[in-house]
Amino acid sequence: MAVGRDVLIGEGVSIFHPELVNLYGCRVGDFTRIGAFVEIQKNASVGARCKISSHSFICEGVTIEDEVFIGHGVMFTNDLLPRATTADGTLQSDADWKVIETRVRQGASIGSNATILPGIVIGKYAMIGAGAVVTREVSDYAIVAGNPAVQTGDIRQGR
């Protein structure tokens, strides 16, 4: 079982396969459901009544508000120029990079296999298409798709 003792877990959270996830140092809000093969890192925060689907990765610096849907295989990021080592060839440690923060606002949905670049706000009830690569801010209620993702509609007007 890879649910760390330092995880702050709310009331009624469902982790269907605690032996097949990797959660540490994060918060998970009330009644949120978490699938298999999910990793949530330290200093990430997931709100209440969210659905975090299988194979997704939520990194340090990501804040997910309440009632958000994260599809399968979704990858968040927190560094624009990631490296394994510093310029002198020694392994990078936490001190060697600054986490760039990302926020997903209430009720948004992120489609499966989407990739979220760092430093982005995804607006309330926005809908990120499956396979999209999100490289900049997404407005409330916007529907976006593609690589890079562009707005294709508004959820208030249907598709």
- For residue 15, give the nearest of 26, 5, 23 by alpha carbon: 23
Q: Return the residue of 9, 10, 25, 33 that touches a second copy, per CB under 8 A.
A: 33
Min CB(8)–a second copy separation in Å? 19
Question: Residues 47, 26: contact at Cβ < 8 Å?
Answer: no
3-class secondary structure, 145: strand
Question: 88-127 mask for a second copy (x: CB under 8 A)?
Answer: -xxxx--------------x-x-xxx-x-x---------x
- Give every strand in the sheet of 27-28, ordered side by side: 8-9, 27-28, 45-46, 62-64, 102-104, 121-122
Which residues of the chain form contacts with a second copy (CB under 8 A)?
Answer: 2, 16-17, 19-20, 22, 31, 33, 35-37, 39, 49-51, 54-55, 57, 59, 67-69, 71-73, 75-77, 80-85, 89-92, 107, 109, 111-113, 115, 117, 127, 129-131, 133, 145-148, 155, 159
